[in-house]
Amino acid sequence: MTLKSRTVARIHQDGPITVADFMATCLLHPTHGYYTTRDPLGAGGDFTTAPEISQMFGELIGLCLAQSWLDQGAPTPFTLAELGPGRGTLMADALRATKAVPGFHAAARLTLIEASPVLRRAQSERLSNHAPLWLDTCAELPDQPLYLIANEFFDALPIRQFQRDGVGWRERHVGQSDGHLRFGLGPPVMPATLSHRLDDTKDGDLVETCAPAQGIITELARRIAGFGGAALLVDYGDWRSLGDTLQAVKGHRPVDILSDPGQADLTAHVDFEALAMAAKAAGCGHSRLTPQGVFLDRLGIATRAQALAKGQTPEVQAAITSAQQRLTEPDKMGILFKVLGLNPVQGPLLPGLTP
Ligand code: SAH
């Protein structure tokens, strides 16, 4: 039985489900979920991420976190964590680049939060020298200084969608008819979490909320505020959510969201304002939302690209330049992707970010 027929049968019996329920089912169903059953990354997969484009990305992120660790007095021991580490590429590059930072590796307890058994295996192959600890949730992170990276993690968390309807909202649902999944709207509701959006939306506008993201940020922020540390959250999205950003991607192309559940990646843009507000509410400071291109330029990606290219063949040099451009240029990943840093309120800012 496919995940589609299971979902149709479930909706037939129990009624329409929220977009968040649909997303969680598609991505993380224990036997048919997209992430549960495959490694989706790279040229032969469905999408490519920054660390899979170039080693420079993970190297610069690693050095950024290590500098922040030094700036905060090199606390020992500390948790070096990643949310949704994919194939472990980013962390492997970060660890290689920080090998020469005195005391950093000895003090770090490498901790990976990963839902996919397939990707946990890939991470284990890449990172076995560093004896990683895997956790299911951020609530299990120890109470100690935390230095964390999340790249393209928050976009995979289930969102709910609400369409403005007069003075309230109607939630977008997934229902079924004739064996096919279809979007529909629920009855009028007035969720308290959306009261601040009544001023900047009009009838028919769609906004998205992501409760799991808020819970995760609260866990991270509480540790950073209480014990020190920093987090780098890199994703596509903007300061405030407006409009339908749910998308399905398969084989590097957009596909229909409802036609083949569990067979395509499902993501939504990240509402960074909601993340920043959750961090603030937990007593943690945050940086200005910064375009990825600006962040990587400030960390010295051009210098790193030159060093990597030195003495290489023209083909390799061209590939390095092309990767640098893909990560930083405004019409590629440079602006769509953004970076939000979390840091202790009185603590130094992460390198590359501003208040
Ligand atoms: N950060 C990696 C991979 C991004 S893909 C990179 O940049 O290449 C999203 C990652 O998040 C995958 O590793 C996926 O398995 C993981 N993931 C998605 N939802 C998750 C959840 N709810 N809990 C833990 N991991 C999750």
Q: Return the residue whose CA atom lies nearest to atom 2 of ligand 1.
A: 86
Q: Return the residue whose CA atom lies nearest to atom 17 of ligand 1.
A: 84
Task: Give the pLDDT band of residue 241 (cuts 50, 70, 90).
Answer: confident
Is the shortest distance between the CB of 46 and ligand 1 below 6 Å?
Answer: no
pLDDT 10s digits, 199-212 = 999 999 999 999 99
Is the shortest distance between the CB of 58 and ligand 1 below 6 Å?
Answer: no
DSSP string, 11-77: HHHH--EEHHHHHHHHHH-TTT-HHHH---BSTTSSB--HHHH-HHHHHHHHHHHHHHHHHTT--SS
Q: Give the span between the Cα atoms of 186 and 173, in whole angstroms.
A: 6
Task: Over range 262-288, report the average pLDDT.
Answer: 97
Is the shortest distance between the CB of 287 and ligand 1 below 6 Å?
Answer: no
pLDDT 10s digits, 116-173 = 999 999 999 999 999 999 999 999 999 999 999 999 999 999 999 999 999 999 999 9
Q: Return the residue whose CA atom lies nearest to atom 19 of ligand 1.
A: 156
For position 148, what pLDDT does the model report? Answer: 99
Q: Give the span between the Cα atoms of 14 and 174, in whole angstroms.
A: 12
User: What distance in angstroms lies between residue 129's CA and the mean position of ligand 1's atoms?
Assistant: 21
For the chain, how are helix, strand and coil distributed in percent, rounded to 5?
Answer: 40, 25, 30
Share of the chain above pLDDT 90, in %: 98
pLDDT 10s digits, 318-327 = 999 999 999 9
Residue type (1 letter), 47: F
Is the shortest distance between the CB of 123 and ligand 1 below 6 Å?
Answer: no
Domain ranges for the chain: 3-30+160-207, 50-158+210-344
26, 309 Cβ separation under 8 angstroms: no
Q: Return the residue whose CA atom lies nearest to atom 3 of ligand 1.
A: 86
Task: Give the pLDDT band of residue 280 (cuts 50, 70, 90).
Answer: very high
Average pLDDT, the chain: 97
Is the shortest distance between the CB of 82 and ligand 1 below 6 Å?
Answer: no
Tell me: pLDDT of 43 over 90: no
Task: Give the pLDDT band of residue 189 (cuts 50, 70, 90).
Answer: very high
Q: Give the span between the Cα atoms of 56 and 291, in whole angstroms.
A: 17
The widest CA-to-CA distance across the chain, in whole angstroms, is 65
Task: Over range 91-103, report the average pLDDT.
Answer: 98
Tell me: pLDDT of 42 over 90: no
For position 44, what pLDDT does the model report? Answer: 86
CATH number of this structure's domain 50-158+210-344: 3.40.50.12710
- Please tell me the number of Cα atoms within 13 Å of 182 on its side-chain side: 9
Q: State pTM to two decimals.
A: 0.97
Is the shortest distance between the CB of 337 and ligand 1 below 6 Å?
Answer: no
Task: Over range 236-260, report the average pLDDT.
Answer: 96
Is the shortest distance between the CB of 156 and ligand 1 below 6 Å?
Answer: yes
User: What distance in angstroms lies between residue 312's CA and the mean position of ligand 1's atoms?
Assistant: 33
